[in-house]
Amino acid sequence: MPDTDAAALTADLIRCPSVTPEEGGALVVLEQMLTEAGFDCARADRGGVANLFARWGEKGHPRSFGFNGHTDVVPVGDRAAWTKDPFGAQIVDGVMYGRGATDMKSGVAAFAAAAVDFVRDTPPDGAVILAITGDEEGDAVDGTTALLEHMERTGEAMSVCLVGEPTCPDEMGEMMKIGRRGSMTAYFTVTGVQGHSAYPHRAKNPMPAIARLMDRLASHRLDEGSDHFDASTLAVVTIDTGNPANNVIPAQTRATVNIRFNDHHTGAGISDWLRAEADAVAEAFDVRIDMDVKISGESFLTPPGPLPDLVAAAVKAETGRDPVLSTTGGTSDARFVKNHCPVVEFGLVGKTMHQVDECVPVEQIHQLKAIYGRILRDYFA
């Protein structure tokens, strides 16, 4: 039987318009392929989001290699700006174009193809699991978390997990992720008393208070970094008042900050610090400051050891490069998986992800499949 063509599967997935939260047919394509290859498949849909769980091998086997990925994609944006059909999977000069070509339908296709060939050619003593969501690019509330809850309810488990996000900045094989920074956003509302700008003593101006608070937060250095993480960062991303009149002191203003934090902190600890800073400014300016915090994920690390070594060795064998063990970048669904089992990330070069004319060299898809196949062989050897 011929090897499974990861590039052809990538094209099939790209042709499915699966913009979050639409399934678009992508998981149907995967489920049919995996079922025909002997995988037990189940849907773990929740909240209008489609999710697919697939397992080859014994349920609950203590040696189960898992893969986590997503078939949903970000919106196309200005379609007129695309030179190729964003859902056409057109190949020009060896490069495949389409939304999701890099992030991350190619990664899902590469692992699915590698897994199908692996269990057919060298059936392992263990299980191979795919947990594929349609809600990574959105709020991620009903995606990988729903899959993990499905696994807990049904007695399924992964011993280790690989997430297929694009991890390489410029060249295939140069970087893998062994952790991610935590991410949180804080929303501040400062309320004073509206008044005439010619009579400021009759008002309570929230503007100096928000300016002072944002300056205090932005000027504070959270830390100097840690063994595996860069220094934590805080960015003031907006201050909004909406006051068009130059003779009116507004009653209220709002501001938002985004924080990416390392393993020196927790979301709760930073929230406490933000609240204390807001309270101090509120008292100094005699205004009220309300705060709402959304923690997208805590920082985590899979320390150098068996799983990172396994993936790094496979990458080196197939690309000739020793991947940097990195914790840079934004968030990924690995932040959910890390509560279930050890997790690392490795995938394609991500230079065109979310861009107009997103694309991937076809050869890189085949190379990624080879890396994933070697990881599976080495894990079960």
User: Residues near 285 by Cβ (< 8 Å), separated by ≥ 6?
Assistant: 192, 204, 206, 208, 209, 212
Distance, in Å, from the CA atom of 47 to the CA atom of 312, rounded to the nearest integer, reads 37
Catalytic residue among 12, 23, 31, 72: 72
Distance, in Å, from the CA atom of 250 to the CA atom of 243, rounded to the nearest integer, reads 7
Longest dimension (CA), the chain: 85
Which of 365, 201, 210, 203 is closest to 277 using CA atoms?
A: 210
Catalytic residue among 12, 23, 135, 136: 136
Is 117 annotated in the active site? no
Query: What does the block give as tokens for 87?
Result: 């859902």
Coil, helix or strand at residue 13: helix
CA torsion sign for 325, 327, 329, 330 is positive
Angle, CA 276 vertex, CA 270 and CA 282 arms, to 5°: 135
Task: Please say whether the beta carbons of 259 and 234 come within 8 A.
Answer: yes
Is 283 annotated in the active site? no
Coil, helix or strand at residue 307: helix
Which residues are known to be catalytic?
A: 72, 136
